[in-house]
Structure formats: structure tokens, C-alpha cells
Amino acid sequence: MKHFTRIADLGVSGAAEVLDAALAWKQRAPGAHLAGKLLGMVFFNPSLRTRASFEAAMLRGGGHAIVLEVGSGVWKLEDRTGVVMDGDRPEHIREAIPVLGRYVDALAVRTFGALQDDDTDAADPVINAFRELAGVPVISMESAREHPCQGLADLLTVREHFGATKKLAVTLTWAPHIKPLPKAVPHSFLLSAAAAGCEVRIAHPPGFDLHPAVLAEAQTYARQSGGSVTVNSNRRRALNGSHVVYAKAWGPATGEAVASAAAAPIAAHKDWLITNETLSGAAHDAIFLHCLPVRRNLEVADEVLDGARSRVIDEAENRFHVQRVLLHRLLNQ
């Protein structure tokens, strides 16, 4: 595994191996498996769980992490090709990335989609530039297309609770927000769940489709793993009998007026708020997941987040366990 920036870098069997290792490592400390290793962490966007969990994984494994926040103590970085650099970005990633790669054993990158064009975001230009130019292994801390460490942590949480994922009914449901958000998290839950053999149901209002290439990739994984993927605009139908309910806000698909649609998730779809009543049609043992941060009583009601079904804290902890396995693989290859 030279890089890990997308679920495709693991495939169905590789994802299962990482989850198996994370489950085992969570029960016993693996020791100083990252001793002497240095991870450079480049943040184009803010973070709480991602930064803390990656730093903790490096330090507890005997290594160290250098944190660089682009535009805050670090030059703003230009990523466009062939541009005249007469704006507020004085350094280009074509110089910055290989320089950083000379200092560390691996680079971790966090960057969001621009939300202007789904195809551009799906092409993942920034994360792929790091793969091309770094000269060392690259791991994604979220990109325009995917948040693969989050997706694996989600499935680790499901594995812990249910023991197995084959044929398990899980629902990924859209939730309202004050603004359009990137699709990386729902993409990665979809891909990870499909790779794990789940029966994945996606529910969203019209106009909020996930990227077709990601849906096609998920269908491929589902065929390989014995799972399935379906899309439904009727949330109640998608939730019926589901064992896992995963809520996440994301923006409209390309072709919609993204700027003018900023308020649409609330104005037009307030009824997509997740409440206990929403979950009433799910299985009696259903659990609730959300990647966090979450806007309480806008995306998800207090009664759900604080209720017995919620596993959001376990889910956040599992970022650490998945990431130390991935870092071990990347830094000891």
C-alpha cells in the first residue's frame, strides 16, 4: 500500500484486513510500532478529531507529527496548473509538496471540495498532486472526494456492535444544514459499507445525488462482497428495518444552483431532521452514527444524539484505532 487516500487503495479484501487489525489492536496496545517515524500533517481546512487522532496515533506509536496549517503560519498554497500567481497564494504545491516530502516519512493531507463542480471534486486534484509529488507515502485526512479513514472508523463501529456486516441493512440519510457541505463523508461511508457487504440504502431529497462514479464504484464493491446499494428519495422506506442509521448533510449535485441553494436544505427540507420518530421504523437494535461535528437540533435532535442508540463517541474514538493500523502499514512497508 504505497498511499492511502481512497478506499480503492485497499479494495474489499484490504479494507477487511484493516478492520480486523483495528479490532485486535483496540484490545491490546501494539507497542512502539512507529518509533523514529515522522508524519507531516498538512491542513488546508480546520479539524478537531482528525488532527487529535492522527497526532495521538503517531505519539502513542513512538513517532512524531509536524502540523502545518495552510494560511496560518504557513504560506497560502496555489494548486492550479498554469496559473499566473499574482494573487494571495505566494507558493505553489509543485514546490511545497516535494520539499515537505524530503523532511518526513509520510504526508497526511486534509482538503475539502470547492463545491462548484462535482466532477472537479471527484477528480481530487489536490490529494492527487500530493500522491504524484510527495516522494513518500500519502494518507488522506479528508479530500474533495473521500474521507476514507472516517469510512473505515464507521464500519469498525458497526463491526463492534453487530459482530458481522454481511447483508446488514444500513441507511445513509441526508440531513439539513445551514449551507451546502462536501460529499466526502457520505461517499466514504457508502464505499466502506459496500466493501463490507452491507445492504446500503441511500436516502436524500431530489437534487442531492452523490457522484455517479462513486455510486458505480460502490456497486462494484457490493457485487464483490455480496452486498447491495439502492437509492431512495423516500426516507421512511429506506429506514424500514435498518440496523444502522448514518446521518450526514451534503450539498446539491452539479447542475443545481449551489450558491442560491445555500439555504435550501433548511428552507425546503426541514423535515429531514433526525428525531426519535424518524428512527421509529428502524430495527429495534438499530444504532445511530454521525461523523461529527454535528449541528444539534438542525441535523440531528438532542434526543437522538444523547439517546441509547447513539454511537457517535465510539465512532470518533475508532478513528484512532483505524489510523494507527493504516500508519503502521504505510510507514513500515
- CA–CA gap between residue 137 and residue 48 (Å, rounded): 23
Q: Kindly list the domain boundaries of the chain, sorted by start residue.
A: 7-146+319-331, 148-315
Looking at the domain 148-315, which fold is it? Rossmann fold (3.40.50)
Per-residue pLDDT of the chain (333 residues; tens, 9 = 90+): 599 999 999 999 999 999 999 999 999 877 899 999 999 999 999 999 999 999 999 999 999 999 999 988 888 888 888 999 899 998 899 998 999 999 999 999 999 998 888 999 999 999 999 999 999 999 999 999 999 999 999 999 999 999 999 999 999 999 999 888 999 999 999 999 999 999 999 999 988 999 999 999 999 999 999 999 999 999 999 999 999 999 999 988 865 545 455 445 556 788 999 999 999 999 999 999 999 999 999 999 999 999 999 999 999 999 999 999 999 999 997
| Yes or no: domain 7-146+319-331 corresponds to CATH 3.40.50.1370 | yes
**The pairing of beta strand 169-174 with beta strand 138-140:** unpaired
Q: Quickly count: other Cβ atoms within 10 Å of residue 259's Cβ.
A: 9
- CA–CA gap between residue 131 and residue 134 (Å, rounded): 6
Give residue for cell 458505480. Answer: 216
- CA–CA gap between residue 16 and residue 192 (Å, rounded): 10
Helix axes 212-225 and 11-27, enclosed angle (nearest 10): 70
Same fold across 7-146+319-331 and 148-315: yes
pLDDT value at position 253?
83
pLDDT value at position 30?
75
pTM of the complete model: 0.94
For the chain, the first-to-last Cα distance in angstroms comes to 8
Helix axes 11-27 and 148-162, enclosed angle (nearest 10): 60
Give residue for cell 478513528. Answer: 319
Omega prior to 180 cis, within 30 of 0: no
Omega prior to 293 cis, within 30 of 0: yes
Contact 8, 195 (CB under 8 A): no
User: How are strands ordered across the β-sheet holding 138-140?
Assistant: 64-69, 38-43, 106-110, 138-140
